[in-house]
Amino acid sequence: MQKGMIITLGTTPGVEHAIAFSIKNQNPDYVIFIVTEDSIKKLEDIKKELNKMDAKIPKHCYKRISNEDNVAEAYRSVRDAIEWLIKKGYHPNNIVVDYTSGTKPMSAGALFSAIMAPCGSLVYVAGRRDEATRRVISGTERVISEQPNRLLAERYISEAISLFNSYQFKAASQILRSLQERMHSSVEPRLSSLSRLCDAYNEWDSFNHQTARDTFDKISREDMEKWSNKISANKGWVNRIAKALASNEPRQRLCRELLVDLWMNANRRLEEGRFVDALARLYRLAELAAQYRLIHQYDIDTGNVDIGKIPTDMHETINRYRDEKERIRIPLSAAYQLLARFNDPIAEIFQGEAVRDALNRRNESIAAHGLNPVSAEDVERLKEGIKGILGKLIHNLDEMAQQAIFPKLSP
């Protein structure tokens, strides 16, 4: 593929030799020189130096800047040159920016533009310098090359990590994917593994446990450990929930891990200040806790109640929920009424003043049947009540919760 080159050109004596050396080394098909009123005269000297090296100057043009001490102007000039080459069909990875020459502001502008724009490489000609003239001694030249996209990638990886740590997994993944196509091969694997992590945690945070499990499976253990030593434990946690949810048996599906997982999800929403979402999850958790208790302690499936397992004095109440297919599905209120009939301790907590008040506030909120806003206080009240219920169901709640804590990544 054709290679394009952009060179900032200054007036330092002898710089023409370094520029000619760089051109011969890079062998571009087209060169755009960023010049000043004075440095444009150096073009003829560069041609002469190339002739000495048995090389010819390629097709070229120049773009003049009016102020060699203006970083912004140099930045815009190099950026426009890169965009022009791309429009002419040059692939970004085959565009080189040489900032060997020019004033410091010109070099700074070129450097910044190469990092921000889709550009393949940055080059600089170095070598031993003559102590008297400070010119690079002929024959000692070497080209130092850097992929600017690697520098840009580090910035965006840091931004993606910040988003990941704030549970903004989808946004983080979008940033990373927008960069992957233009990244150097040495950077792409890191982008790819982080992007997959974002996808896995996004699916997990959205309760898509099977998809999260499959996405975790695409990430090597080595890559997981590079990012955080907590990820392997998280993967095992998700695997257990995904396996349970794949079962057709209510006892298998309604597992302790699912309760804890929903609990931790509610806590993350509260941490974000998303009070409506936190409240919705806690309300669902109250319902799920009753379903869990009834199936595991009393062999009653709330989605398909066997009336023969219900105390006779509650048949009338439970039969109200029989549908046209003769299937009985009971809601949260009936589930806790049934638990109360069994004198179950979680029913006592649910029917206590703290939880009842929190649920009333939930029902009066815009998130349910009313018009009131949801406050952090409303969520905290319900959270404390639900924690009491979970404590009766799961004696090692805090220990299990450790496995479901999302990691905080470091760059």
* Partners of 97 in beta bridges: 6, 122
Q: What are the residue ranges spanned by the domains of the chain?
A: 4-146, 149-246, 249-411
Model pLDDT for residues 216-267, shown as the tens digit of each residue: 999 999 999 999 999 999 999 999 999 999 999 999 999 999 999 999 999 9
Model pLDDT for residues 261-289, shown as the tens digit of each residue: 999 999 999 999 999 999 999 999 999 99
Residue-wise burial string across 262-273, b where 16 or more C-beta atoms lie within 10 A, e elsewhere: bbbbbbbbbeee
Question: Please, what is the average pLDDT of the chain?
Answer: 90
| pLDDT surpasses 60 at 103 | yes
Residue 24 has what pLDDT? 94
Per CATH, the number for 249-411 is: 1.20.120
Provide the CATH topology of domain 149-246. Answer: Hyaluronidase domain-like (1.10.3450)
Per CATH, the number for 4-146 is: 3.40.50.10770
| pLDDT surpasses 90 at 360 | no
Residue 129 has what pLDDT? 67
Among the residue ranges 90-94, 136-140, 317-321, the one predicted with the least confidence is 136-140
- How far are the Cα atoms of 82, 302, 340, 382 from residue 256, in angstroms, in the given order? 57, 17, 21, 20
Residue 221 has what pLDDT? 93
| pLDDT surpasses 60 at 185 | no
Residue 374 has what pLDDT? 82
Residue 278 has what pLDDT? 93
Mean pLDDT of 120-132: 78
Among the residue ranges 152-161, 190-199, 275-284, the one predicted with the least confidence is 152-161
| pLDDT surpasses 80 at 66 | yes
Residue 287 has what pLDDT? 95
Residue 362: CA count within 13 A, CB half-sphere: 22
Q: Determine phi and psi for 261, rounding to 5 degrees.
A: -60, -45
Of 11, 61, 60, nearest to 36 (Cα)? Answer: 11
Decide if 242 contacts 220 (C-beta within 8 A).
no
Residue 254 has what pLDDT? 95
Residue 152 has what pLDDT? 76
The fraction of the chain above a pLDDT of 70, given in percent, is: 95
Residue-wise burial string across 369-386, b where 16 or more C-beta atoms lie within 10 A, e elsewhere: eeeeebeeebbebbbebb
Reduced to 3 states (helix: H, G, I; strand: E, B; else coil), residue 254 is coil
Residue 72 has what pLDDT? 95
Model pLDDT for residues 13-30, shown as the tens digit of each residue: 888 888 999 999 999 999
Decide if 359 contacts 382 (C-beta within 8 A).
yes
Decide if 237 contacts 243 (C-beta within 8 A).
no
* pTM assigned to the model: 0.77
| pLDDT surpasses 80 at 173 | yes
Mean pLDDT of 350-357: 83
Decide if 198 contacts 171 (C-beta within 8 A).
no
Decide if 52 contacts 71 (C-beta within 8 A).
no
Would strands 95-98 and 142-146 be described as parallel, antiparallel, or unpaired? unpaired
Decide if 273 contacts 373 (C-beta within 8 A).
no
